[in-house]
Amino acid sequence: MNKILLVEDDYHLGIILQDQLEMNGYEVSLLRLPGETVENLMKDNFDLVIMDKLLSGIDGTQICAEIRNTDSVSDVPILMMSGFDGAREICIAAGANNFIAKPFEVNSFLQSIEATISKSKDFQE
């Protein structure tokens, strides 16, 4: 079972995404405090980080860059999401492995997750 760190400060969206992921066989840790992302990654092993570009008080790309600059967790795959035009390029430039535009359908979201995890595992082998 793949383990996902879901960084989402929107209460309702976090619950919805967590429920969808768990119903589809993922183990999910929901983190409401974006500033604690790297700390959580260092405490536990995750197969993927999912986070929004727009988080309360901080841009998700800053957290993405912080992950990439932290040796012990720099290789954890990151899927970022946003509804803003041009966000894909910004998120990928910050170090995200993949991006999905909001709003999205659940199947597209799940396909993006699988593609990101699979590509990362292929790269590590």
Residue of higher predicted confidence among 65 and 119: 65
Q: pLDDT-based confidence at 20, cuts 50/70/90?
A: very high
pLDDT in tens, 103-119: 999 999 999 999 999 98
124 occurs within a structural domain:
no
Task: Give the pair of three-digit tokens for residue 92.
Answer: 């990928």
Instruction: Assign residue 23 the CATH number of its domain.
Output: 3.40.50.2300
Residue 121 confidence (pLDDT): 73
- What residues make up the domain containing 53? 3-119
Total count of domains within the chain: 1
For the chain, how many helices (H) and strands (E)? 5, 7
Residue 49 confidence (pLDDT): 98
56 occurs within a structural domain:
yes
92 occurs within a structural domain:
yes
